Copies of this chain bind each other. A is one copy, B any other.
Amino acid sequence: MPTRQEQKEQRRQEIMYAALDLFVKRGYAATKIADIAKAASMSVGLLFHYFESKEKLYEELVKMGLQGTAYPGAQKCEHAIDFFVQFAEQLFTYMRQQPYVAKMFVLMADAQRSEGTPEHIREIAMQVNTIEQFVPIVEWGQKEGSIKQGDALALSSAFWCSIQGIAEQYAAHPDMGLPDAQWIVDIVRAK
């Protein structure tokens, strides 16, 4: 028998996962509190007992996304290209194992990109560094010969956006599966 504290935490989790799923499938604005409540099998009133507003719930989700998203560093790679391989394979593995990883990935991107996002939430979402983190690694790989030539930021961006697009597809239709990570890494790989 779980303590009341645990129960409470459990409830909050349920709400958050239900909201994450719907926010990703329909978008934040299109998702009704009533739908989230239904998905979490509870009344609207109870949902508000746990979260003071829809926006606050969104904020909590984005904060959770910020935590969970500790991407693997460029540990012990002989070649720069190996970093990208590791990165993509690890990410895809997580996504396959835990559906919420893919969803969170999409949620964070949305929060960053959409003009509809309340400013203070966008700021939180912006804290995940994304494209920029790849630039130095691309540059290293270009010197070294394992990464193709070209504007390093543009290459990083192409890689990242592709993963983004794939994550969106996967979040919406997990049944379709994820591609071979190597295929995507070929975007940056030297010929």
Which A residues form the contact surface with B (CB < 8 A)?
25-31, 113-116, 148, 150, 154-155, 157-158, 161-166, 168-169, 172, 176-177, 179-180, 183-184, 186-189, 191
Contact = CB atoms under 8 A, between A and B. Distances in A.
Contacts of A157: 169, 176, 179
B114 A26 contact: yes
6 A-B pairs with least C-beta separation: A165-B165, A29-B30, A162-B162, A30-B116, A158-B179, A29-B29
A29 B25 CA distance: 13
Contact of A172 (B25, B113, B155): B113
A162 B184 contact: yes
A179 B113 CA distance: 19
Contacts of A148: 183
Contacts of A29: 26-27, 29-30
A32 to B, nearest CB: 10
Given A165-B165, A165-B166, 7 more contacts: A26-B114, A26-B116, A27-B116, A29-B29, A30-B114, A154-B177, A157-B179
A89 B184 CA distance: 18
27 contacts: A25-B114, A25-B116, A26-B114, A26-B115, A26-B116, A27-B27, A27-B28, A27-B29, A27-B30, A29-B29, A113-B168, A113-B172, A150-B183, A155-B179, A157-B169, A157-B176, A158-B180, A158-B184, A161-B168, A161-B169, A162-B165, A162-B187, A164-B168, A165-B165, A184-B187, A186-B189, A186-B191
A87 to B, nearest CB: 16
B27 A114 contact: yes
B30 A180 contact: no
A152 to B, nearest CB: 12
